[in-house]
Amino acid sequence: MKVLVIGYVWPEPNSSAAGSRMMQLLETFVNQQWQVDFASPAQHSDHQADLATLDINSHAIELNCDSFDRFIQDLAPQIVIFDRFMMEEQFGWRVEKNVPDALRVLNTEDLHSLRDARHQAVKQERPFRDEDLHTELAVREIAAIFRSDLTLMISAVETELLQQRFHVPKRQLMTLPFMLASISDSSYKARLAYDQRHHFISIGNFRHAPNWDAVLQLKQHIWPAIHRQLPNTQLHIYGAYPPPKATQLHNPKQGFFVKGWAEDAKSVIQQARVLLAPLRFGAGLKGKLVEAMQVGTPSITTPIGAEGIADSESWSGAVCFNTQAFIHEAIRFYQEEVLWLKAQATGDRLIQSNFSKEVHQERLIQRLINQYEDRYVIRKQSFFNQMLRHHSLKSTQYMSQWIEIKNKTVTD
């Protein structure tokens, strides 16, 4: 197979869960000995992965430009993967036009419209309602899902939502969680013991709104109460791209340290005794919480944080429904070694049962092969797929073509 991935950004596995997820997909294709090309219209960054080490070809592409048409005709991929629905909007019609036989796959990372709807509810200080999902963003995202031959969903909760709320056919969806090495794999370093670890940690890309909101929750409502009861402890805040408003929160006297970029996220998480993730909104699977399990660090989070990973009864730490419970459990897991060790063992079981690299890589490859072989049948059976590809509903294509002509006119 020849696979082209069109990325919203260049993969940054040390900056975000989305970056790690993308690298897992790419490595799966490389291990299958498929030819892999990665293209993106985004600017290069200092933290992006070196794809050449995996024998992956990188290509810079332009938005609203027919140069992409020539590029994809020459490449002639059999599978095209759009990283997030915005890339399907921009390039999906060009892929269909120039390589109509290619399987079109959407990788959502998380359900953007769900995350945004929950964010709006938090801003308005009210509970989230199902009707909050009926937004312009959801219309765009769900349309991209219907237009695609297959959509990869990282969370079973979101797969179920798409099927029940938006009636997306099961044959067009695949739940594919993180694909991680076994706990017994040699790549896992020897873990630090309970008494070798110190302080609390919170980590997350500052460009991701749920993470910034969590930092504010810690600063304003949670950490002051924890620090009063554990005055010798510190909270270390890590994350890529911290803005000035974040670094200004740094206050050693309060034990609140904003440390920014972490070269090795797992290493800094392992040095802490407890990870704090008071997420009030979001979607998908939270990479920081899964990484905490990988290195044996119990976590205190919310139902949003645990969603799609495990329920509150089988969490590696505690899932809390209010601020007071969050504070109480954070202190308890920090002080009680027996409880801490039990949470660590629970995390090991979750990693082993839910995120097996071997199991999910095999599932993904087989599903892509089957979907490729059945793509014409699937397209014919999906009325919504046909309808949303009809010329009368291709506003994104016509807008792109208008911008392309406008740009050429200006250049001339």
| Residue ranges per structural domain of the chain | 2-179+357-411, 194-354
Predicted local confidence at residue 391, as pLDDT: 59
User: Which residue in the block uniquely carries the two structure tokens 């590809």?
Assistant: 389
**The predicted structure's pLDDT at residue 206:** 92
Q: Which of 37, 97, 36 is nearest to 66 (CA)?
A: 97
**Tokens 């910034």 -> residue:** 212
CATH superfamily, domain 194-354, is Glycogen Phosphorylase B; (3.40.50.2000)
The values of phi and psi at residue 66, to 5°, are: -75, 0
CA distance 169 to 212: 35
| 21 closest CA partner among 33, 7, 31, 32 | 7
Equal CATH topology for 2-179+357-411 and 194-354: yes
CB 291 within 8 A of CB 272: no
Question: Under the phi-then-psi rule, with left for phi > 0, alpha for psi from -120 to 50, and beta for the rest, what region is 125?
Answer: left
Residue type, 127: P
pLDDT the model gives residue 186: 47
Q: Are strands 235-238 and 256-260 parallel, antiparallel or unpaired?
A: parallel
Residues with pLDDT less than 50, the chain? 186
The alpha carbon dihedral of 401, 406, 408, 409 has a sign of positive
Instruction: Say what the pLDDT of residue 270 is.
Output: 95
Whether domain 2-179+357-411 has CATH 3.40.50.2300: no
pTM summary value: 0.90
* Cα gap 341→360, rounded to integer Å: 28
Compute how many other C-beta atoms are within 10 angstroms of the C-beta atom of residue 45. Answer: 13
272 alpha-carbon distance from chain centroid: 23
Q: Which helix (H) or strand (E) holds 379?
A: helix 375-381
Please return the burial class of 166, using the count of CB atoms within 10 Å of its CB with bins 0-12, 13-18 and 19+: middle
